[in-house]
Amino acid sequence: TGAHVAVIGGGFGGATAARYLRRGAPDLRVTLIEPAERFYTCPFSNLYLGGLRDWDSIGHGYDGLRAAGVEVIHARAEAVDTAARRLRLAGGAELAWDRLVIAPGIDLRWNALEGYDAAAAEIAPHAWKAGPQTQLLRRQMEAMEDGGTFVMVIPGGAYRCPPGPYERAGMVAHYLKTRKPRSKILLLDAKDRFSKQPLFMQGWQALYGDMIEWVGLDDDGQVVRVDAARRAVETAFGTIHRADVLNVIPPQMAGGIAADAGLTDASGWVPVDPATFAARQAEGVHVVGDAALASPMPKSGFCANAQGKVAAAAILADLAGQAPPEASFANTCYSMIAPDYAISVAGVYRVEGGAVAEVAGGTSPLEADAGFRAAEARHAAGWYAAISADIWG
Ligand code: FAD
């Protein structure tokens, strides 16, 4: 038809949409805009911290997408004009589009925790976007003395990967138990409960004894101030905790280009029609992945992948003058607690009355033997290989 679809962001959501647009319409012109030549996944970055995976194994290039006929431009999109249907790249080049998919992931809310800004993150890494931050955190773990304290600050509200901090705790514990067994992990949480909590707590206790201490909101777990230079944090009630390694996961919002394009609401995220992931605030624009408001779907790579497929199908139908197919979504989040011990949560979602509804779901059983947990660890590896191949392969 001669239509051109541009996709901003070559992560879980954007790269999926680009591939599935081409798969559904082999003649469609699809351009993917992503600054990185190699994308490092947050999924399994905790395994890298724990020493279960090497760095290269979580990186993916874009040759697979090129082979699928996607035109890939390695640049940052700097501005989007939704009325004129144009966008501008860093460097000044402009691109016209007929439909646009935006999947920029998250940005960190600097100074939402007093004192925690981009400079502080160079001392107290968040490691919540996989890349140099993740490698910095790992180097700090390596440099820490046996008997040191690893402090993690965990946000409330909507954030990328609800079970991610707790998986990280187990992976850091695995690393410390095998190399620096007198060390401690302190989790300071702005919530009073968390994803898969009984399963995590059971696993931590069984594998690491009292190495991991979790302090929730009700017990003064909420951090309000960060002093990165001193590696210290202060809680809402004024308690000061000092760390040898300080990992601060701050509150988050949709990747900046979504706000620049005028697509976000007061929450900092993008309201969408869940049947198509079309942005509510502009015509012809779809937003998928962490940037979109799609609760009760979690902000996961699995969901971003499912949403990318739904958006691609809706765009293809629209370009063909048809109604979009009925959307459905699935999610599974595996969390590794040790090399042969994983737990999971799964959900199936549909659109009911214009909103997302969870129609089925559950977690691993609390009562399970070692063989069951080991099988889930194998399933996690299988999931990672399969979704990586589906997106970048
Ligand atoms: P991303 O995958 O982050 O991709 C966004 C891309 O957009 C980036 O490549 C970025 O460079 C690009 N971009 C941003 N702005 C621009 C711009 N202006 N121009 C061009 N490009 C731009 N999910 C799971 O399903 N399973 C897991 O086991 C899991 N584990 C996790 C563990 C950790 C520690 C963390 C932090 C997250 C984990 N997640 C997991 C969540 C998962 O990483 C995210 O949900 C997923 O990456 C969201 O996909 P996305 O496409 O929205 O964003």
Tens of pLDDT, residue by residue over 169-216, are 999 999 999 999 999 999 999 999 999 999 999 999 999 999 999 999
Q: Is 88 in the pocket of ligand 1 (CB under 6 A)?
A: no
Under the banding of pLDDT at 50, 70 and 90, the label for residue 301 is very high
Q: What is the mean pLDDT of residues 103-107?
A: 98
Q: Is 344 in the pocket of ligand 1 (CB under 6 A)?
A: no
Regarding an ipTM greater than 0.90, the answer is: yes
Contacts of 182 (CB under 8 A, 6+ apart): 146, 147
Q: Is 161 in the pocket of ligand 1 (CB under 6 A)?
A: yes
Dist. CA 384–CA 148, nearest whole Å:
32
Q: Is 300 in the pocket of ligand 1 (CB under 6 A)?
A: yes
Please state whether 385 falls in left (phi above 0), alpha (psi between -120 and 50) or beta. Answer: alpha
Packing angle, helices 12-24 and 301-319, rounded to 10: 30
CA–centroid distance, residue 219 to ligand 1 (Å): 31
Dist. CA 19–CA 312, nearest whole Å:
9
pLDDT in tens, 307-331: 999 999 999 999 999 999 999 999 9
Dist. CA 162–CA 167, nearest whole Å:
10
Q: How many CB atoms lie within 10 A of CB 226?
A: 25
Please give the structure tokens belonging to residue 94.
């402009």
Torsion of CA 120, 126, 130, 135, to 10 degrees: 70
Give the pTM: 0.98
Q: What is the mean pLDDT of residues 284-313?
A: 98
For residue 183, the model assigns a pLDDT of 98
Which amino acid is it at 291? A
Residue nearest to atom 41 of ligand 1 (CA): 300
Q: What is the mean pLDDT of residues 96-108?
A: 98
Q: What is the mean pLDDT of residues 364-380?
A: 98
Q: What is the mean pLDDT of residues 336-351?
A: 98
CA–centroid distance, residue 322 to ligand 1 (Å): 31
Q: What is the mean pLDDT of residues 121-138?
A: 98
For residue 138, the model assigns a pLDDT of 98
pLDDT reading at 291 higher than 60? yes
Does the CA dihedral 261-110-142-239 come out positive or negative?
A: negative
pLDDT in tens, 150-175: 999 999 999 999 999 999 999 999 99
Dist. CA 59–CA 42, nearest whole Å:
10
Q: What is the pLDDT of the chain when averaged over all its residues?
A: 98
For residue 68, the model assigns a pLDDT of 98
Quote the percentage of the chain above a pLDDT of 90. Answer: 99
Q: Is 155 in the pocket of ligand 1 (CB under 6 A)?
A: no
CA–centroid distance, residue 46 to ligand 1 (Å): 14
Q: Is 171 in the pocket of ligand 1 (CB under 6 A)?
A: no
Ligand 1 atom with least separation from CA of 75: 20
If one residue of 129, 160, 387 were mutated to test the ligand 1 pocket, choosing by the most ligand atoms within 8 A of its CB, it would be: 160
Under the banding of pLDDT at 50, 70 and 90, the label for residue 280 is very high
Cβ(342)–Cβ(379) under 8 Å? yes
pLDDT reading at 1 higher than 70? no
Ligand 1 atom with least separation from CA of 45: 34
Quote the percentage of the chain above a pLDDT of 70. Answer: 100
Q: Is 125 in the pocket of ligand 1 (CB under 6 A)?
A: no
For residue 337, the model assigns a pLDDT of 98
